[in-house]
Amino acid sequence: MNSFTTVTAVAVPLDRADVDTDQIIPKQFLKRIERTGFGEFLFFDWRKEPGFILEEPHYAGAGILVAQRNFGCGSSREHAPWALEDYGFRAVIAPSFADIFRTNCTKIGLLPVQLTQEQVSDLMRQLAEIPGAPVTVSLEEQVVTAPNGARYPFEIAADVRERLLNGWDDISLTLAHEDAITAYESDRERDGPTTAPFLTADQV
Amino acid sequence: MGTTLFKKIWDAHEVRPADASGPALLYIDLHLVHEVTSPQAFEGLRLAGRRVRRPDRTMATVDHNVPTLGRENIADPLSKQQIETLEANCAEFGVPLFSIRSNRQGIVHVIGPELGLTQPGMTVVCGDSHTSTHGAFGALAFGIGTSEVEHVLATQTLPQAGPKTMRVSIEGTPGRGVTAKDLILGTIGQLGVSGATGYVVEYAGSAIRDLTMEGRMTVCNMSIEWGARAGMIAPDDTTFAFVEGRQAAPADFAAAVERWRALPSDPDATFDREETVDAAALVPQVTWGTHPGQVAPITGRVPTPEDFSDPVDAEGTRRALAYMGLKGGEALEDIAIDTVFLGSCTNGRLADLRAAATVIRGHKVADGIRAMVVPGSMQVKAAAEKEGLDEVFRQAGFEWRDAGCSMCLGMNPDILDPGERCASTSNRNFEGRQGAGGRTHLVSPEMAAAAAITGHLVDVRSLDVELQEA
Ligand code: SF4
């Protein structure tokens, strides 16, 4: 996974709430079996709308997306963060995120930054006044710096921050506790079904 | 102080508690896999030289891409490739698979419970947001992304930050024609499309206790539609009766029930948040907008942006109305439809098909309406055919299809055309969800059947039709 320390980039104000992952990457692009190449299909249908903000020349090379509340709701498709990342985004700023989307982002090094509604509105206003203005997101300092120099601190779980700063892979971290998993399995073997009986009968 | 159902399951699955170095590590009892969110996870395992730690706690099926007509010949090469990739991955890693040729294939959230794999007290995950469905059994079940799928395949665990808890008590007796779908749509309408973000929700109250397992699954299924990390319902005799006798049910069933009886939240358990919903006050619900929180009683009107004081809601309404081809202010019952879709992991079970068939029996689909039934699994299909439901639907003018996700999201050929308006028993009315430019109104199976007969959205209670007792 990419590490994330500090990013300064053009920020796109997407002034919409409840942006669902079906909009971020529509279903017809989920048939790929690769992890890359989704960026060109980001917001596929919205990009056909005249004047859609992502298509405006000011925002070429944008690296930060600013959106309204409940960003990333709906489907669990990790293809949504993959598409944002592949397009070039390194961070998404919003007043709130859907839980699965937020987790998916942090697993690939895309930083979800939660600010207050007032701060996001303020940021949106500045970005509308000076299209293409850069914003800085520092994970080290846990601060967003707006074009006018205003600094907005943000919260993030300490372990998630650590993992992102270092670009650590979750699976390796967990496998360091493999003994605990094995102990758990042998101590508690255990409730719940096993699918083993289905193995032979139904394997294609 | 008492303990919640959620906390009891959580505590029993902590491999490691949360500490300064990170969140708790939770053991996963059952990992369900489908073809769309898994290829990159298996590829990750392969690249790292890892194996699937517990293939015997993993189960795969194909559902999203499966054609509902002519499944032997998948026309779309990408769909075909995705299905074959899962077959190859399951063979390579030893994961049980109900593939396209299996008579037990179906939507992953339909076949888990149907096979008896979903049981009280378990942790269940799947790379699919509607994994919340399985919470109906008193399990902790939630959707994950592909990186987490890979993590569970490799370790059978997940690092998880503890969520907040909310109890939603849905009390009272719902009126005639008011279904589980209406209970959950009404709840989302009341508490907001992101009202449960960050929470695990326990649905309680007399209206929930009175539901069948199918109804409880419908309610828990849509937990994600108002942002909940998971939805769950205390297991009781209704739950145990459903699990008993199924293929994967515990061999010593009595002993299992004994354990399961200790799961429900203690009477003095406390939640971070409590909400109540009055079931008796609800009428059949229908969505008018582009997310499930944009919902109204069928007896009402489409709102206008001016009805909302919050500027973000007003702007969202303006966009939704434009997309939906509505002006705002029209009576919901005046909205003419083109298509009816009966199916999905929300309402594609036998009970749902029965409920719709009861309304349809002896009636015809209105002129010019395309109407389709897609059973949630091949077993649902077979059971429905055994009791002649396929004939009821066919005679009324419905198409009777094979099992899959189908027009719930249209990764297979079943999609809406731009501008086509659909009364759908699925769970998402997002822009383009059922096909680019398509317009979705979410309803119960009974309401979908009524819309098929009349050709417009209609209050099923106003028709001269039979309604099943809930
Ligand atoms: S039926 Fe729809 S919501 Fe359910 S798993 Fe399939 S695509 Fe997802």
Q: Which of A22, A38, A78 should we substitute to test contact with B (largest number of B Cβ atoms within 10 Å)?
A: A78
Residues across chain B: 470
- pLDDT level of residue A189 (50, 70, 90 thresholds): low
Q: What is the predicted pLDDT for the residue at A200?
A: 54
* Structural domain boundaries enclosing A12: 6-188
* Tens-binned pLDDT, residue by residue, of chain B (470 aa): 899 999 999 999 999 999 988 899 999 999 999 999 999 999 999 999 999 999 999 999 999 999 999 888 899 999 999 999 999 999 999 999 999 999 999 999 999 999 999 999 999 999 999 999 999 999 999 999 999 999 999 999 999 999 999 999 999 999 999 999 999 999 999 999 999 999 999 999 999 999 999 999 999 999 999 999 999 999 999 999 999 999 999 989 999 999 999 999 999 999 999 999 999 999 999 999 999 999 999 999 999 999 999 999 999 999 999 999 999 999 999 999 999 999 999 999 999 999 999 999 999 999 999 999 999 999 999 999 999 999 999 999 999 999 999 999 999 999 999 999 999 999 999 999 999 999 999 999 999 999 999 999 999 999 988 787 65
Structure-block tokens of residue B350: 């036998």
Contact B79 A16 (CB under 8 A): no
What sign has the CA pseudo-torsion A185, A186, A187, A188? positive
Closest CA to A69 of A111, A109, A124: A124
Residues across chain A: 204
Q: Whose CA is nearest to atom 6 of ligand 1?
A: B405
> Can you tell me the distance from the alpha carbon of A22 to that of B435, in angstroms, rounded to the nearest whole number?
11
Chain A residues with CB-CB distance to B434 below 8 A: none
> Can you tell me the distance from the alpha carbon of B164 to that of B143, in angstroms, rounded to the nearest whole number?
17
CB distance from A156 to chain B under 8 Å?
no
CA atoms lying within 13 Å on the CB side of residue B82 = 28
ipTM over cut 0.90:
yes
Asked if residue A86 belongs to a domain, the reply is yes
Phi, psi (5° rounding) for residue B253?
-65, -40
Asked if residue A40 belongs to a domain, the reply is yes
Please return the burial class of B278, using the count of CB atoms within 10 Å of its CB with bins 0-12, 13-18 and 19+: middle
Asked if residue A141 belongs to a domain, the reply is yes
CATH number at residue A117: 3.20.19.10
> Can you tell me the distance from the alpha carbon of A125 to that of B430, in angstroms, rounded to the nearest whole number?
27
Asked if residue A61 belongs to a domain, the reply is yes
Residues B302-338 have pLDDT tens digits of 999 999 999 999 999 999 999 999 999 999 999 999 9
- pLDDT level of residue A201 (50, 70, 90 thresholds): very low
Into how many domains does chain A fold? 1
- pLDDT level of residue A188 (50, 70, 90 thresholds): confident
CB A164 within 8 Å of CB A111: yes
Neighbouring residues of A63: CB distance < 8 A, sequence distance ≥ 6: A7, A9, A10, A11, A88, A89, A90, A91
Give the nearest ligand 1 atom to B63 CA.
Answer: 6
Asked if residue A197 belongs to a domain, the reply is no
CB distance from B37 to chain A under 8 Å?
yes
Asked if residue A203 belongs to a domain, the reply is no
Asked if residue A198 belongs to a domain, the reply is no
Assess whether pLDDT exceeds 70 at residue A199: no
CA B92 to chain CA mean position, Å: 30
Percentage of residues of chain A with pLDDT beyond 70: 95
Q: What is the predicted pLDDT for the residue at A190?
A: 61
Chain A residues with CB-CB distance to B50 below 8 A: 171
Assess whether pLDDT exceeds 50 at residue A71: yes
Residue B165: its H or E element: strand B164-171
Q: What is the predicted pLDDT for the residue at A1?
A: 81
CB B14 within 8 Å of CB B158: no
The answer, yes or no, to whether any atom of ligand 1 lies below 6 A from the CB of B8, is no
Asked if residue A20 belongs to a domain, the reply is yes
Burial A16-48 (b: 16+ CB within 10 A, else e): bbbbbbbbbbbbbbbbbbebeebeebbbbebee
Residues A74-128 have pLDDT tens digits of 999 999 999 999 999 999 999 999 999 999 999 999 999 999 999 999 999 999 9
Q: Taking residues A38-45, report their average pLDDT.
A: 97
Q: What is the predicted pLDDT for the residue at B469?
A: 63
Distances (CA, A) of A139 to A6, A7, A16, A165, A202: 6, 9, 25, 7, 49
Tell me whether strands A143-145 and A151-153 are parallel, antiparallel or unpaired.
Answer: antiparallel
Distances (CA, A) of B325 to A16, A83, B261, B302, B333: 19, 29, 50, 11, 15
CA A135 to chain CA mean position, Å: 17
**3-state DSSP call for residue B395?**
helix
Assess whether pLDDT exceeds 60 at residue A202: no
For B145, the closest of A78, A96, A197 (CB atoms) is: A78
- Provide the greatest CA pair distance for chain A: 66
